[in-house]
Amino acid sequence: SQQGEEDPQALSIQEGENATMNCSYKTSINNLQWYRQNSGRGLVHLILIRSNEREKHSGRLRVTLDTSKKSSSLLITASRAADTASYFCATDPDSGTYKYIFGTGTRLKVLA
Amino acid sequence: EAQVTQNPRYLITVTGKKLTVTCSQNMNHEYMSWYRQDPGLGLRQIYYSMNVEVTDKGDVPEGYKVSRKEKRNFPLILESPSPNQTSLYFCASRFSGQGVNQPQHFGDGTRLSIL
């Protein structure tokens, strides 16, 4: 099955620094979504970017999408210890199916 | 409060003993889905449902069944569980329609251990 890939797999930064994580995917998409997961808990939706958008902001989050390279990035600015979590990208394929494809996730640790 | 509710949250059982994980949402969402999460593999979709009585296979449907008799409920059934189905399971829902561009809402997860 096709799966998105995220890098890095793990990231450790100091509080106040910016965190950038990347997602690559394989199919054409309707949209790409980023989710956060605190340890062992459910996923929480952060931001959705449509295939015809290139950049989107939400608070301290900035997402970019490059459909020609089939890649997206999530930037968290001025990180806080509470941002410590795993981050996943998910694509909504433009394939006539309704299957979501999730990346393998980036584990972010923000040190106080 | 808008939510997706899964039960049970934790279950330890034995090989071959049929079990059902329930999922209920109160947001009137048409689309519901089940995922399993395993270390290093991210989330993989098991089954999804576009609406009542409409279900389809995801990427890893083997060993699982689902039904969608009511809009709010989407139970996951393991007829004969095996140890390789030990995993963390998530139910999710959203408004339906391709191109609707709606996020999914997730339950808190069910941790299954099959001995």
What was the pLDDT predicted at A106? Answer: 94
* More confident site: A98 or A35: A35
Tokens 């410590």 correspond to what residue?
Answer: A84
Contact across the interface for B44 and A45, Cβ inside 8 Å: no
pLDDT under 50 in chain B at which residues?
A: none
Residue type, B27: M
Region for residue A103 given its phi and psi (left: phi exceeds 0; alpha: psi -120 to 50; beta: otherwise): beta
Q: What is the mean pLDDT of residues A78-84?
A: 97
Contact across the interface for A102 and B107, Cβ inside 8 Å: no
pLDDT over 60 (residue A2): no
For A32-76, write each residue's pLDDT tens digit: 999 999 987 899 999 999 999 999 999 999 999 999 999 999 999
Output the six-digit token pair for B92. Answer: 């999710």
Contact indicator for A99, B48 with CB cutoff of 8 Å:
yes
Contact indicator for B105, B96 with CB cutoff of 8 Å:
no
Q: DSSP code of A91? A: E
A38 vs B contacts (CB less than 8 Å) = none
State how far the Cα of B52 lies from the Cα of B32, in Å rounded to an integer. 10
Q: What is the mean pLDDT of residues A11-17?
A: 96
Find the Cα–Cα–Cα–Cα dihedral A88, B20, B69, B108, rounded to 10°.
Answer: -30
Q: Out of B40, B60, B98, whose CB is closest to A98? A: B98
Q: For residue A78, how many other CB atoms are within 10 A of its CB?
A: 11
Q: For residue B71, how many other CB atoms are within 10 A of its CB?
A: 15
Q: For residue B23, how many other CB atoms are within 10 A of its CB?
A: 24
Output the six-digit token pair for B97. Answer: 């329609």
For residue B97, report the phi and psi dihedrals to the nearest 5 degrees. 100, 120
Per the DSSP assignment, residues forming a β-bridge with B61 are none
Q: For residue B11, how many other CB atoms are within 10 A of its CB?
A: 15
Contact across the interface for A42 and B59, Cβ inside 8 Å: no
State how far the Cα of A62 lies from the Cα of A76, in Å rounded to an integer. 7
What was the pLDDT predicted at A1? Answer: 34
What was the pLDDT predicted at A22? Answer: 95
What was the pLDDT predicted at A41? Answer: 86
Contact indicator for B48, B29 with CB cutoff of 8 Å:
no
Output the six-digit token pair for A10. Answer: 């793990």
B92 vs A contacts (CB less than 8 Å) = 43
Tokens 């994580």 correspond to what residue?
Answer: A21
Contact across the interface for B42 and A40, Cβ inside 8 Å: no
Residue type, A61: L
B58 vs A contacts (CB less than 8 Å) = 99
